[in-house]
A and B are shown apart, each in its own frame.
Chain A
Amino acid sequence: MPASSVSLTNVYKAFKGFKGEEILAVDDVSFRIEPGAFVTLLGPSGCGKTTSLRMIAGFENPTKGKIKIDEEDVTFIPPWKRDTAMVFQSYGLFPHMNVGDNVGYGLKMRKVTTSERHKKVSAILDLVGLSGFEERPPSSLSGGQQQRVALARALVVEPSVLLFDEPLSNLDVLLREQMRVEIRRIQQKTGITAIYVTHDRTEAMTLSDTVIVMNKGKIVQTGTPFDIYEEPNSIFVADFMGKMAYFPVKILAWEGKDAIVELYDKKLSVRVAKNVTPNDSQRYILACRPESMKMQENGKGVVPGVITTNVYLGNAIESYIKTEFGEVMVKSELPKEGLRPEGSPVSLSIREDKAVLLPLDPGIDGLSLNKANI
């Protein structure tokens, strides 16, 4: 299958609000997706990720900016003339056609002969694990099966870009996990360029080569799932990707990409967030993932606290610890000596190579971050 690059250059999209005011749904977004890559647009609802995807598909016109597919300007090309195919959150199957006709619709539009069409339809249904379902009406299928039909319908036209608009959010948890694996497998097998919109960070991390995190119409960070999780460049990304513990620190010195900070009279050498140039006038806060902290005997770690709650997850324990900076969560394996009882005093040590120094916006109380986290 052909794979194409996709690029957006300074794209804006303004909508009219209820009172006639302008709302910028997409605010100066630029990115480039290489052929064959699996890219996720991740962000909370209303961040502009779906609007961006719909502009790539051609359902919306950008207010400003340029969209290119395979270096060809498609900004004003209607959806039906673009070589993209979309898989929708609500499947969008044609209820008045059976599965075979649904999947064959795009081929019909491309004037593929009937016999060729039948061959391709049954091959693609085979790929998504639905061979022999041609005659069934979509309404007789389960949600997962319906979404697989939708996927087959998009794949069969061999688009150069495959677009996913939160395709799994209508499925239950188990199916979602299963479909996630399947989508990744099929994308790898076909080598097609895929753009995937979701608000689910797990989906984004498991599926994609690159994650683009968006907020309020802007791109806030782009990177591999690893980068985004381990080295967020802002509190927003850090929080969005998972639990974080925040500690106000005093900065002693900058050392290239690292900084020497002081916490409870202890010196720590930690990384500075990506794309952040050290600046003394800026306030910073130290951020730490739950699995990058360790509970030690009282006095052995850095931050003292008391266990308030233990949550046993089977493969791990989440312990909530009350500290001077609010309650933070630590994720650990079950220690050999057994569970520390609730109420026991502990000391938290921090893995310096995993902790990140994040810029703190003016007006935000660093201590409130831990409370908001709960």
Chain B
Amino acid sequence: MKVKWVKAILFCVLGIILIVWVFRTLETEFTNISIQRLKEAGLLLSQSVPSRSYGQWISSTREQYPDILPFISEGNAEFGEKVRPVISSKEDQAFFDWAQSLPFYAYGLESTYYEEVYFYPKRIEWKGHPVYISFTPIIPEEVGYVTGTLILLHDGSVIRNYGNLLKGFAITFIVLLSCILFVNAFSKDPILVYTILIIFLIVGIFIAFPLYQAFRLTVMKDGVFTLEVWRHVLSNRNYLQALWGSILLGVLTATVSTAIGFLFAFTLTRTNVRGKGFYATMATLPVISPPFSLTLSLILLFGSYGLITRRILGLTNVDIYGLDGLVIVQTMGMFPIAFMVLSGVLEAIDSTFEEAAMNLKATRWKVFSTVTLPLSFPGIASAWLLVFTNSIADFANPLILAGKYKVLSVEAYLEVTGMNHLDIGATLSVLLLIPTFLAFGLQRYWISKKSYTTVTGKPTGRILEVVSPNVKKVLVALMVAISGFLLSLYATIVAGCFVKNWGIDYTFTFDNVVEALQRGKDAIGDTTLLAAIATPIAGLLAMIVAMIIVRKRFPGKGLMQAMVITPYAVPGTLVGISFIIAFNKPPLLLVGTAAIIIINYVVRELPVGVESGIASLKQIDPSIEEAAQSLGADTATVFRTIVLPLIRPAFISSLSYTFVRSMTAVSAVIFLISAKWYHMTILIYNFSENLRFGLASVLATTLMVIVLTVFWVLRFLVGKSSSLQKNIIVR
């Protein structure tokens, strides 16, 4: 053990010495070359110094060469001349006051009298700027001897920056070297340690750092702590209105969605209606429908030129934009979340309870209101909260449909892209986080403790008809109406592709398809390419993180898990804003690149993959992996040959999840796109903004086709879709 320590430290010290030597040499070499250049520039410049009216020459030179600051000292002390600084401005005065106190000033002047250039080799500071100082003799051609000294301040920031860069490299190398040496010396499993370190690095740079930067921006101005931005936001009526708007929208959507979700879940688990498969599909399908699709069809059907409102009913002053439209469209898109939570809960409630109640002579209504409903209360509450957080974080629907109604996510977007107020945008999206965290906390610490479902016995598998035939008819009628409405929305989108000019001219045409694909083909290509790159990265990374979290013990595991899961709770708007704040300057200048979009996809879709990986790994006996280890497989081989094949369903569903979510992303990616890298969903938004609903419909339909195809392929690959749906539900 001691020998190992000594060896590691020895190698480390040797390595550090070597690295320092190499980088010092590089830096000195660069500095020398640069100084040589600066010297030559000085000599060249000195030839242009006139014999009189220095002042004008100085000011014109300063204008011409911004990185050189010339001063002139007149006279040659060697000849007994009086030496006199040329002072024609305040700056000259300040310079000479400062320069004459420099210890080498006299020596520098003196050198020039012997026709030598003196260059002080060290970097000094002048008014807070890094500079080099040189003394060059002025030898006018017509005179032929030294008449004065040209003193130059050369901008040293380039050399300094280069030096800093080298230092950065050196430190990185030293850290890397000592890491490698110590890990190899003291770890039984270096690959694992490196993996953990790399994951921490990724998580730190791409999750913690941007969020930290965003928070910082809300409380810092010019490097000073201040609550000014918060005061500004919280005292502004517009923003408060937006906050209230988000909350009101969330409450309404959550309530209606939970009611509809309960209707479907209850009818499907507690009665024996026919066509359960159809209703279940209807109640899950909208989860994977691309953004803007439901919004678009709602506008096409009920907008001011809508098929139903204008054409069929002949109404002229309908306004679907605003709260009503938003609640409708969000409910259609989000009631499946409530449905999935509630059907899980209702399935878990043993119907023996209901049988027992009926046996005790309770009426059907009594059974429902005193047994079924109270038992499913925790499920109802968590469904409500889940929809609420989703509604609040929603960005795509309000972006098009909000009209004059204000919500936080859109307001944050407008501040950032419209006004370039990054700080206000960040503050608004942090504000958005508060209700989300409250809901999360409530769910975790209150509702989960109230859950009764775990104490029940095995379900009997039989269904007790707890509703009377008439009530059942009403329930079915409601489900049919909602399903019909949903189907008509989807049909409208498809129809919208082939109509010349919706609302005015309903003739059949392929023009829209041709034009949309023409104009969108780059965006479609980009979107697919970026999603395809992000997918395997996110999928593999998620599985690796899951394996490390479930199977390995290491310090900081809880922190890693928390950080990986964070982007799941953070609204996309905040993620997008924090990314542009964090990655708009070197060394991490990523804004405008494809990398930032890919990284954003990976980071945002990682939590779901990690969670499903963890869930399925926990089902697997650890001795399977240990058996492989004891047969000679190292950690990487165990992952490749044992873990990955065993959690294949989780892996594939996480791949598909990432792909679909990346293809349909809006909220974060809208901040990150550039002219070079565009996203289909944003193009849909642009088309609808310009009232080109036909083009928007074509792209939305294309997205739907892509998404559905992916799911079909997956269903084929995984066999069962249950784990898939479970994964999709969460957002």
Task: Find chain A residues with CB under 8 A from B633 CB.
Answer: 80, 105, 109
Do residues A109 and B188 form an inter-chain contact, with CB atoms below 8 A? no
Q: Does A106 contact B (CB under 8 A)?
A: yes
If A77-B188, A78-B188 touch, whether A150 touches B627 (CB-CB below 8 Å) is yes
If A76-B188, A94-B642, A96-B646 touch, whether A86 touches B634 (CB-CB below 8 Å) is no
Q: Does B623 contact A (CB under 8 A)?
A: yes
Task: Find chain B residues with CB under 8 A from A96 CB.
Answer: 645-646
If A57-B630, A85-B631, A94-B628 touch, whether A78 touches B623 (CB-CB below 8 Å) is no
Mark contacts of A50-88 with chain B using CB atoms, 8 A cut-off: 1 yes-contact digit, 0 otherwise: 000000011101000000000000001111111011101
If A78-B188, A94-B642, A109-B637 touch, whether A88 touches B623 (CB-CB below 8 Å) is yes
Interfacial residues of chain A within 75-119, with CB under 8 A of chain B in the complex: 76-82, 84-86, 88-96, 105-106, 109-110
Task: Find chain A residues with CB under 8 A from B456 CB.
Answer: none
Task: Find chain A residues with CB under 8 A from B624 CB.
Answer: 92-95
Q: Does B97 contact A (CB under 8 A)?
A: no
Smallest CB gap from A85: residue in B: B630
In the bound assembly, the distance between CA atoms of A76 and B645 in angstroms comes to 29
In the bound assembly, the distance between CA atoms of A82 and B621 in angstroms comes to 22
Smallest CB gap from B627: residue in A: A92
Q: Does A199 contact B (CB under 8 A)?
A: no
Mark contacts of B605-634 with chain A using CB atoms, 8 A cut-off: 1 yes-contact digit, 0 otherwise: 000000000000000010110111111111
Task: Find chain A residues with CB under 8 A from B645 CB.
Answer: 96
Cross-chain contact of B646 among A95, A105, A150, A157 (Cβ < 8 A): A95
Mark contacts of B626-658 with chain A using CB atoms, 8 A cut-off: 1 yes-contact digit, 0 otherwise: 111111111001000110011000000000000
Q: Does A289 contact B (CB under 8 A)?
A: no
Q: Give chain B nearest CB distance to A63 CB in angstroms.
A: 13
Q: Does B189 contact A (CB under 8 A)?
A: yes
Q: Does A153 contact B (CB under 8 A)?
A: yes
Cross-chain contact of A88 among B627, B632, B646 (Cβ < 8 A): B627
In the bound assembly, the distance between CA atoms of A93 and B186 in angstroms comes to 31
Task: Find chain A residues with CB under 8 A from B623 CB.
Answer: 88-92, 165
Do residues A78 and B621 form an inter-chain contact, with CB atoms below 8 A? no
Interfacial residues of chain A within 160-182, with CB under 8 A of chain B in the complex: 163, 165
Do residues B632 and A157 form an inter-chain contact, with CB atoms below 8 A? yes
In the bound assembly, the distance between CA atoms of A82 and B634 in angstroms comes to 11
Mark contacts of A115-153 with chain B using CB atoms, 8 A cut-off: 1 yes-contact digit, 0 otherwise: 000000000000000000000000000000000001001
Do residues A88 and B631 form an inter-chain contact, with CB atoms below 8 A? no
Task: Find chain B residues with CB under 8 A from A90 CB.
Answer: 621, 623
The interface size bin for chain B is 20 to 34
Do residues A59 and B631 form an inter-chain contact, with CB atoms below 8 A? no
Smallest CB gap from A156: residue in B: B631
Task: Find chain B residues with CB under 8 A from A150 CB.
Answer: 627
Task: Find chain A residues with CB under 8 A from B631 CB.
Answer: 80, 85, 105-106, 109, 153-154, 157
Task: Find chain A residues with CB under 8 A from B628 CB.
Answer: 94, 105
Do residues A59 and B188 form an inter-chain contact, with CB atoms below 8 A? no
Task: Find chain B residues with CB under 8 A from A80 CB.
Answer: 629-634, 637
Task: Find chain B residues with CB under 8 A from A77 CB.
Answer: 188
Do residues A79 and B646 form an inter-chain contact, with CB atoms below 8 A? no
Task: Find chain B residues with CB under 8 A from A109 CB.
Answer: 631-633, 637
Task: Find chain A residues with CB under 8 A from B626 CB.
Answer: 57, 59, 79, 86, 88, 92
Q: Give chain A nearest CB distance to B656 CB in angstroms.
A: 20
Smallest CB gap from A79: residue in B: B629
Q: Give chain A nearest CB distance to B434 CB in angstroms.
A: 33
Q: Give chain A nearest CB distance to B34 CB in angstroms.
A: 50
If A77-B188, A78-B189, A95-B646 touch, whether A153 touches B627 (CB-CB below 8 Å) is yes
If A59-B626, A92-B626 touch, whether A78 touches B646 (CB-CB below 8 Å) is no
In the bound assembly, the distance between CA atoms of A90 and B622 in angstroms comes to 10
The interface size bin for chain A is 20 to 34
Task: Find chain A residues with CB under 8 A from B629 CB.
Answer: 58-59, 78-80
In the bound assembly, the distance between CA atoms of A92 and B646 in angstroms comes to 13
Smallest CB gap from B192: residue in A: A78
Smallest CB gap from A104: residue in B: B631
Chain B facing A: main interface SS = helix
Task: Find chain A residues with CB under 8 A from B621 CB.
Answer: 90, 92
In the bound assembly, the distance between CA atoms of A89 and B627 in angstroms comes to 11
Task: Find chain B residues with CB under 8 A from A93 CB.
Answer: 624, 627
Q: Give chain A nearest CB distance to B592 CB in angstroms.
A: 44
In the bound assembly, the distance between CA atoms of A304 and B189 in angstroms comes to 65
In the bound assembly, the distance between CA atoms of A86 and B627 in angstroms comes to 7
Task: Find chain B residues with CB under 8 A from A86 CB.
Answer: 626-627, 630
In the bound assembly, the distance between CA atoms of A61 and B186 in angstroms comes to 12
In the bound assembly, the distance between CA atoms of A202 and B631 in angstroms comes to 29
Do residues A61 and B627 form an inter-chain contact, with CB atoms below 8 A? no
Interfacial residues of chain B within 391-449, with CB under 8 A of chain A in the complex: none
In the bound assembly, the distance between CA atoms of A165 and B626 in angstroms comes to 12
In the bound assembly, the distance between CA atoms of A83 and B108 in angstroms comes to 74
Do residues A58 and B188 form an inter-chain contact, with CB atoms below 8 A? yes
Task: Find chain B residues with CB under 8 A from A92 CB.
Answer: 621, 623-624, 626-627
Task: Find chain A residues with CB under 8 A from B641 CB.
Answer: 105
In the bound assembly, the distance between CA atoms of A92 and B638 in angstroms comes to 13
In the bound assembly, the distance between CA atoms of A82 and B626 in angstroms comes to 13
Smallest CB gap from A103: residue in B: B631
Task: Find chain A residues with CB under 8 A from B189 CB.
Answer: 78
Smallest CB gap from A61: residue in B: B188
Q: Give chain A nearest CB distance to B639 CB in angstroms.
A: 13
In the bound assembly, the distance between CA atoms of A82 and B641 in angstroms comes to 20
Q: Name which of A57, A59, A154 has the most chain B CB atoms within 10 A of its CB.
A: A59
In the bound assembly, the distance between CA atoms of A163 and B626 in angstroms comes to 12
In the bound assembly, the distance between CA atoms of A88 and B186 in angstroms comes to 28
Interfacial residues of chain A within 260-293, with CB under 8 A of chain B in the complex: none
If A78-B188, A86-B627, A92-B623 touch, whether A106 touches B632 (CB-CB below 8 Å) is yes
Task: Find chain A residues with CB under 8 A from B637 CB.
Answer: 80, 109
Q: Give chain B nearest CB distance to A79 CB in angstroms.
A: 4
Mark contacts of B181-192 with chain A using CB atoms, 8 A cut-off: 1 yes-contact digit, 0 otherwise: 000001011000
Smallest CB gap from A76: residue in B: B188
Q: Give chain B nearest CB distance to A189 CB in angstroms.
A: 21
Q: Give chain A nearest CB distance to B553 CB in angstroms.
A: 9
Task: Find chain A residues with CB under 8 A from B630 CB.
Answer: 57-59, 79-80, 82, 84-86, 154, 163
In the bound assembly, the distance between CA atoms of A77 and B634 in angstroms comes to 12
Q: Give chain A nearest CB distance to B627 CB in angstroms.
A: 4
Task: Find chain B residues with CB under 8 A from A95 CB.
Answer: 624, 646
Interfacial residues of chain B within 185-236, with CB under 8 A of chain A in the complex: 186, 188-189
Smallest CB gap from A159: residue in B: B630
Q: Give chain B nearest CB distance to A17 CB in angstroms.
A: 14
Task: Find chain A residues with CB under 8 A from B632 CB.
Answer: 80-81, 106, 109-110, 157
Q: Name which of A88, A92, A96, A110 has the most chain B CB atoms within 10 A of its CB.
A: A92
Task: Find chain B residues with CB under 8 A from A105 CB.
Answer: 628, 631, 633, 641
Task: Find chain B residues with CB under 8 A from A154 CB.
Answer: 630-631
In the bound assembly, the distance between CA atoms of A105 and B623 in angstroms comes to 15
In the bound assembly, the distance between CA atoms of A79 and B626 in angstroms comes to 9
A to B CB contacts below 8 Å, 30 in the list = A58-B188, A58-B629, A78-B188, A78-B634, A80-B629, A80-B630, A80-B633, A80-B634, A81-B632, A86-B626, A86-B630, A88-B626, A90-B623, A92-B624, A92-B627, A93-B624, A93-B627, A94-B642, A95-B624, A95-B646, A105-B628, A105-B631, A109-B631, A109-B633, A153-B627, A153-B631, A154-B631, A157-B631, A157-B632, A165-B623
Top-7 shortest CB links A-B: A106-B631, A109-B632, A92-B627, A92-B623, A88-B623, A79-B629, A86-B630
Given A92-B627, A154-B631, 11 more A-B residue pairs with CB atoms under 8 Å apart are A58-B188, A58-B629, A61-B188, A78-B629, A78-B634, A82-B630, A86-B626, A88-B626, A94-B642, A96-B645, A157-B632
Chain A residues in the interface with B (C-beta under 8 A): 57-59, 61, 76-82, 84-86, 88-96, 105-106, 109-110, 150, 153-154, 157, 163, 165
Chain B residues in the interface with A (C-beta under 8 A): 186, 188-189, 621, 623-624, 626-634, 637, 641-642, 645-646
